[in-house]
Amino acid sequence: MRLLRRLGGFLLLCGLLPLAQAELLELRRAQVSTVVAGDLLEGETSLPYNWDRQHGGQSGAAVFEIPLQLLQPPAEPYAVYFSRVGNRAEIWLNGILLSRFGDLNRPNREDYAKAPQYVLIPAQLLQRDNLFRIIVHADGGRRGGLSSMLVGPEVEVREHYHSVYRWLVNGSIAVSVFSLVVGVIALLLWVTQVESAPGARPRRVGLYLSAGIAEMCWMLRLSDTALTDPPLAWPWWGVLQTLAYAGWFCGSALFCHYVAGWHRHASMRWVRGVVWALMLTAAPAAWLAYTRHNDAYLTGWYGFATFLFIAYAAVYFWGSLRRPTTEHVLVAAAGVFNVLVGFRDWLVIRASSNFSEISWMRYSSVLFGLALGYIVITRFREASAQARDLMDNMAAKVQEKERALAASYQQLEQLAREQERAAERTRILRDMHDGVGSHISAAIRQLQSGKASSDDLLQTLRDSLDQLKLSIDAMNLPPGDLTTLLANLRYRLEPRFKASDIALAWDVDLLPPLARLDGKAMRQLQFMVFEALSNVLQHAQASELRIELRACPGGGARLRVIDNGRGFDPERVQRKGLASLRERAAAIGVVLELSSEPGRTVVEILIV
């Protein structure tokens, strides 16, 4: 039942069915007084009253007096329905203001003539003889005026009003939202999708752009029905609406050309030329029609565009029959249907004086929008499938390369480990040669000379043993941990300090590891400290040894070895141990400072 009511409302809206409610009265006779350009005209008229046809598209005002006779005053509320009233209007009944549509003192702004209007009449205001007084202010070229009035019980009038409103306003909003969704999807695809051909640079897909422009323009065109107070004043808003209409069918034509694959032909240049010509002439035609109060400019432009697209639709439909594809036939059928509906709208609304008719294009465009959306989504799915295949192929190639790289990395890692082991063996051999080997060689020379005492020989052998132990300890030193390094040296050498009657003062802070000291630097630093301690044992004749470790304020550490021995002159005394200290300090980038005098010798290592 609801479906039948909606169908009946749509047919009534289109003028295909007479009024079904017997109690509703249609008022057509009126007395009218008009003021146009300061001239007052009075007389009788028959509604509907098409302002633009009556006054050549000029602005003005009119007062309509319409009698309503009833057999007896009703006990229930009445209502009055206008299919078109305005552009702005006041509705009076028996001297009482019932409703006001817009501000009569603001021309070229609000427009209430685009949608049906409904006014409630309280029962106590109705008499046997009643008089409606309708004050209308109309803007030139805006299809203002007054339709016939439908008066009757409030329930029946309201039902009729809602039926028409749903089809005209809500239907337009629904179609505009649909166009917005399709347009946004198409534009997003145009931004994100790129097509490439062999030997040509990549470019964006024009099919998506033309579809997006067409649907966004149509959304703007249909949204006008719901905007009683548009953002631009008239006639600028009318010019924008004409441009939106031109953008819709020009974008649709380009879309059809892309769907058929004709964009690669020479005809595409001519189609683009015609499209640009229509777009560039749309605004001047609308401006001339609205400012010169001559609708012939816009009617002629609409007529030229309509017949041009009728010819294009015929050629396109014939092409779809010669080489049929699903997309081509679908677009051709929707396009031909819309072109025929557009011709009907031009003939009924533009070329004739029919005032109450509405455009059917707002409904028929849904078919073209559905076809457009279907093709856009289908093309996107095909492109996505191709992209997935390409990505799968690329992924397979990447995996193959990754496996090859992994094998190469494994070989390099194995080679690096072998090089590391070789370097470690080389270091151990060098340390043994420079440390243990040199001390054993010295012990052999001492024995061969026969001049060395047993104490000297014992000292040399002990140094050799300490060197060997430290070489082994160096393999497990934590990187950057100076506290552990010094503790290890103390563990190895403290018995020798006690045997030599040297008191050890331990003043070492617990410091966090220093990141700049790797394993190699730690080994060099270990031998530097060992060399300094060995010099104290062999040459200083000291009774007290002090080891200090402090953190530096700006980062790093300061390590000091201090003894109270006899001292020496660092500039004059040239010992192999001192030269080794300087070489190792330079190798790891630390600062070595030596100061010595009788009773105090300081070896300071600054690590920054």
Instruction: Domains for the chain: give ranges and CATH numbers.
Output: 23-163 (2.60.120.260), 164-392 (1.20.1070), 477-607 (3.30.565.10)
Residue with tokens 């410091």: 511
pTM: 0.59
Helix axes 519-535, 361-431, angle to 10 degrees: 30
Angle at 99 (CA atoms; ends 97, 104), nearest 5 degrees: 90
Report the distance separating Cα 62 and Cα 41, nearest Å: 9
Hey, how many other C-beta atoms are within 10 angstroms of the C-beta on 487? 13
Q: What is the Cα–Cα distance from 264 to 261, expressed in whole angstroms? A: 7
Q: Which residues contact 19 (CB under 8 A, 6 or more apart)?
A: 12, 26, 150
Greater confidence, 504 or 200? 504
Residue 126's closest CA among 98, 157, 149? 98
Residue-wise pLDDT tens digits, 553-601: 888 899 999 999 888 877 766 666 678 788 888 888 999 998 988 999 9
**CA 570/CA 595 separation, integer angstroms:** 7
Structure tokens belonging to residue 306: 């309509």
Average pLDDT, the chain: 83
What is the distance between the alpha carbons of residues 468 and 458, in angstroms, rounded to a whole number?
Answer: 15
**Tokens 């040894």 label which residue?**
545
DSSP for 532-573, written as a single string? HHHHIIIII--SEEEEEEEE-TTSSEEEEEEE-S----TTT-
**Pairing mode of beta strands 544-551, 503-508:** parallel
In angstroms, rounded to a whole number, what is the distance separating the alpha carbons of residues 572 and 568? 8
Contacts for 353 with CB less than 8 Å, ≥ 6 apart:
50, 53
* Spatial distance between the Cα atoms of 8 and 166, rounded to a whole number of angstroms: 12
CA distance 221 to 124: 42
| Mean of pLDDT values over 96-114 | 93
How large is the angle between the packed helices 206-223 and 361-431, nearest 10 degrees? 130
- Kindly tell me if the per-residue pLDDT of 154 is higher than 90: yes
> Which ranges constitute the DSSP H helices of 14-69?
51-55
**Which residues fall within 8 angstroms of residue 436, CB to CB, at 6 or more apart?**
464, 467, 468, 471
**Strands across the sheet with 85-86, in order?**
49-50, 145-146, 85-86
- Report yes or no: 373 and 340 within 8 Å, Cβ to Cβ: no
pLDDT surpasses 60 at 552:
yes
Count the Cβ atoms, other than its own, within 10 Å of residue 414: 10
Quick check: 168 and 13 in contact, CB under 8 A?
A: yes
Question: Does the pLDDT at position 443 exceed 90?
Answer: no
Q: Which pLDDT band, with edges at 50, 70 and 90, does 377 fall under?
A: confident
Residues 124-151 have pLDDT tens digits of 999 999 999 999 999 988 889 999 999 9
Q: Are 588 and 525 in contact (CB under 8 A)?
A: yes
Query: What does the pLDDT read at residue 131?
Result: 96
Measured N-to-C along each axis, helices 2-13 and 154-165 cross at an angle, to the nearest 10 degrees, of: 80
- At residue 3, does pLDDT exceed 60? no
Is residue 402 very low, low, confident or very high in pLDDT (cuts 50, 70, 90)? confident
